[in-house]
């Protein structure tokens, strides 16, 4: 990349069950708020990138037309849970290559349209036809992880306890009540060994960020923000035979590339928003993101090294487990959290002196792949 | 690092609460529109922001009950019924898609039309006084 790219504003609605709002109703307010807080007029915007999975045709244009933000390219991006972060990646590429100066990135999803239950997956997929659902994928990952390591089901519960404790401090979180290990274990089973409280809730959400080149940032005079130090998007690689489900290669490889691009290591990070769709994911991702050696994640969790006061705060927002996971919106919401943390706007959940942040979101259950997509971003306060 | 005020919370818009464009007004049932206090733009439907100037200083108004038929067609798809629909440019310039009734004057572009109400439904038909 030849140009530095900055996030200059973020806006978001609280994630939750917003049954009376459409995709447009979810996204228009944060769109206006993100533009206004950046001091960006709609005539300043060069392109719009919209991540969603279930919004239907022209989701982005339906949103932007409400404020007359037309003419410029609008790109609709479905990459399952990575859709929002993929939208950011595309915007970063366009600005970084000097093609455009200002881009709006929208992540939006309305899961209450499905009336509950697991996410609808593509009925064309071989394993989906056989009945696979996302909780089953992660439950099998958990079963193998508990078999291979000293981790216990109580540790899986502890991930949820931490997420809820963080989420209780976050006005944008869907769940704002703390839970105990006993409550998590006593919740109804979803896919053994995962209980309901070890699974992220479905819900609705929208988050918007504005990206600018250094040139535009100076012209707009935006006071605070963060530099995109790395933006990496990978797709899953097929395995016809053995795959170690506790070693998600797509995240290992994406993280490796992201650290190389940013020129830092995991030790520099002050906060991480990781894809904790199910509690086992957080443990596996401590290892994949290089916070610790393989099979040793549980020590980090038990010793409190990934919460406030620890080495690095993982999911200060409450993560997907507490904040909620409206799939196409989640990747942008993670970046909004990083923005507020790195600009000192995170209130009660502020990570002290946060300078470096990483966001990570994988997406998609597809037969033969670890995941369909993985997006990792690293940001530096600037 | 200086701690800043907390990030503002954006609010979702309850745009699915009513899917009807028809509203009750002092002058009777009318199509619902939105007027921007900032720039004067008039829009169809309930809006929370002006599509011209992005102001959120907007209010609900009754749209005119009369207008001009811009163009129309008779749909034969999806069954044996014939369904005439068209675009009506209301007298304040706002365009709306409308079901049409053609029991009065024949439909043709530029004919004047008026709003009719039938239970919860609404339609436009050639205006009697034209
Ligand atoms: Zn206006």
pLDDT tens for each residue of A285-343: 999 999 999 999 999 999 999 999 999 999 999 999 999 999 999 999 999 999 999 99
pLDDT at B3: 65
Query: For A160-180, what is each residue's pLDDT tens digit?
Result: 999 999 999 999 999 999 999
pLDDT at B10: 97
Q: Do B8 and A11 touch (CB under 8 A)?
A: yes
Nearest to B15 among A21, A33, A354 (CB): A21
Quick count: other Cβ atoms within 10 Å of Cβ A231?
Answer: 25
Q: What is the mean pLDDT of residues A10-27?
A: 98
> Would you call B6 an interface residue with chain A, using a CB distance cutoff of 8 Å?
yes
Specify whether A41 is located in the same domain as A68: yes
Specify whether A36 is located in the same domain as A180: no
DSSP strands (E only) in A94-225 = 102-110, 189-191, 194-195, 204-213
**Ligand 1 centroid – CA B57 distance (Å):** 8
Nearest to B49 among A22, A32, A354 (CB): A32
Q: What are phi and psi of A333, to 5 degrees?
A: -65, -35
Helix (H, G, I), strand (E, B) or coil at B53: coil
Specify whether A237 is located in the same domain as A99: no
Query: Which residues of A fall within a CB distance of 8 Å from B15?
Result: 20-22, 24-25
pLDDT at B2: 61
Q: Which helix H or strand E contains B128, and what residues bound it?
A: none
Specify whether A246 is located in the same domain as A318: yes
Specify whether A218 is located in the same domain as A290: no
Point out the least confidently predicted range of A27-36, A140-149, A262-271, A365-374: A365-374
Kindly report the average pLDDT of chain A as a whole number. Answer: 96
Q: What is the mean pLDDT of residues A107-116?
A: 95
Q: Do A28 and B54 touch (CB under 8 A)?
A: no
Rounded to a whole number of angstroms, the distance between the first and last alpha carbons of chain B is 71
Domain extent at residue A146: 126-198+229-381
Whether residue A283 has pLDDT greater than 60: yes
> Would you call B1 an interface residue with chain A, using a CB distance cutoff of 8 Å?
yes
pLDDT at A218: 92
Quick count: other Cβ atoms within 10 Å of Cβ A62?
Answer: 19
Query: For A231-270, what is each residue's pLDDT tens digit?
Result: 999 999 999 899 999 999 999 999 999 999 999 999 999 9
Q: Do A347 and B6 touch (CB under 8 A)?
A: yes
Specify whether A104 is located in the same domain as A140: no
Q: Would A121 be classed as within a structural domain?
A: no
Query: Which residues of A fall within a CB distance of 8 Å from B5?
Result: 345
pLDDT at A2: 77
Instruction: Supply A113's token pair.
Output: 């349209």
Specify whether A21 is located in the same domain as A99: yes
Specify whether A216 is located in the same domain as A264: no
Chunked in runs of 10, what are the mean pLDDT values of chain B (130 residues)? 83 89 95 97 95 96 97 86 94 96 88 94 86
Q: What percent of chain A has pLDDT over 70?
A: 99
**Ligand 1 centroid – CA A336 distance (Å):** 28
By C-alpha distance, the chain B residue nearest A353 is B1
Decide if A200 is catalytic. Answer: no
The Cα A335–Cα A343 span in angstroms is 12
Residue A306's alpha-carbon distances to A124, A274, A292, A297, B119, in angstroms, are 39, 12, 11, 10, 61
Specify whether A254 is located in the same domain as A332: yes
Q: DSSP readout, A230-271?
A: EEEEEE----SS---TTS-HHHHHHHHHHHHHHT--GGG-SE
A141 burial type by CB count under 10 A (0-12 exposed, 13-18 middle, 19+ buried): buried
Query: Which residues of A fall within a CB distance of 8 Å from B2?
Result: 344
Longest CA–CA span in chain A (Å) reads: 57
Rounded to a whole number of angstroms, the distance between the first and last alpha carbons of chain A is 18
Q: Do B9 and A224 touch (CB under 8 A)?
A: no
The Cα A49–Cα A41 span in angstroms is 17
pLDDT at B129: 63
Q: Do B1 and A354 touch (CB under 8 A)?
A: yes
DSSP 8-state code for residue B74: E
């Amino acid at each position: 990349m030849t140009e530095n790219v900055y996030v200059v504003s973020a806006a978001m609605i609280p994630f939750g069950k917003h049954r009376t709002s459409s995709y447009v109703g979810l996204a228009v307010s944060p769109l206006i708020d993100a533009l206004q807080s950046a001091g960006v007029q709609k005539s300043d915007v060069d392109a719009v990138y919209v991540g969603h999975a279930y919004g239907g045709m022209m989701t982005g244009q339906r949103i932007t037309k409400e404020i007359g933000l037309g003419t410029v390219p609008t790109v609709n991006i479905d990459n399952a849970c990575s859709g929002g972060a993929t939208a950011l990646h595309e915007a970063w590429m366009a600005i970084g290559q000097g093609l455009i100066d200002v881009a709006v990135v929208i992540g939006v999803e309305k899961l209450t349209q499905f009336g509950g239950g697991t996410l609808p997956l593509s009925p064309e997929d071989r394993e989906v036809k056989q009945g696979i659902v996302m909780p089953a994928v992660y439950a099998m990952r958990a079963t193998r992880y508990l078999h291979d390591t000293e981790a216990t089901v109580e540790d899986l519960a502890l991930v949820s306890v931490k997420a809820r404790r963080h989420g209780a401090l976050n006005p944008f979180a869907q769940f704002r009540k703390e839970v105990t290990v006993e409550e998590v274990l006593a919740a109804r089973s979803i896919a053994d060994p995962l209980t309901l409280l070890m699974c992220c809730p479905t819900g609705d959400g929208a988050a918007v960020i504005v990206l600018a080149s250094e040139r535009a940032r100076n012209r707009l005079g935006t006071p605070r923000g963060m530099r995109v130090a790395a933006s990496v998007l990978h797709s899953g690689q097929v395995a016809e035979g053995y795959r170690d489900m506790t070693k998600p290669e797509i995240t290992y490889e994406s993280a490796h590339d992201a650290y190389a691009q940013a020129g830092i290591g995991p030790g520099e990070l002050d906060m991480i928003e990781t894809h904790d769709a199910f509690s086992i994911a957080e443990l596996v991702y401590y290892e994949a993101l290089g916070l610790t050696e393989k099979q040793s994640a549980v020590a980090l969790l038990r010793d409190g090294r990934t919460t406030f006061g620890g080495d690095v705060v993982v999911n200060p927002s409450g993560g997907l487990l507490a904040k909620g996971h409206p799939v196409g919106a989640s990747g942008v919401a993670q970046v909004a959290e990083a923005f507020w943390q790195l600009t000192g706007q995170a209130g009660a959940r502020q990570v002290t002196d946060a300078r470096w942040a990483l966001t990570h979101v994988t997406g998609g259950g597809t037969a033969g792949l670890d995941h369909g997509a993985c997006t990792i971003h690293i940001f530096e306060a600037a | 690092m200086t701690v800043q005020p907390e990030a503002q919370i954006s609010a979702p818009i309850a745009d699915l609460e009513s899917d009807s464009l028809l509203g009750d007004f002092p002058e009777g049932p009318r199509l619902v529109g939105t007027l921007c206090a900032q720039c004067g733009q008039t829009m169809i439907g309930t809006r929370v922001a002006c599509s011209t100037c992005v102001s959120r200083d907007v209010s609900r108004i009754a749209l005119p009950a009369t207008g001009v038929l811009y163009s129309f067609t008779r749909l034969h798809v999806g069954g044996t019924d014939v369904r005439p629909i068209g675009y009506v440019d209301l007298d304040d310039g706002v365009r709306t898609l409308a079901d049409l009734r053609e029991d009065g004057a024949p439909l043709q572009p530029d004919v004047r039309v008026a709003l009719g109400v039938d239970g919860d439904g609404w339609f436009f038909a050639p205006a009697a006084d034209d």
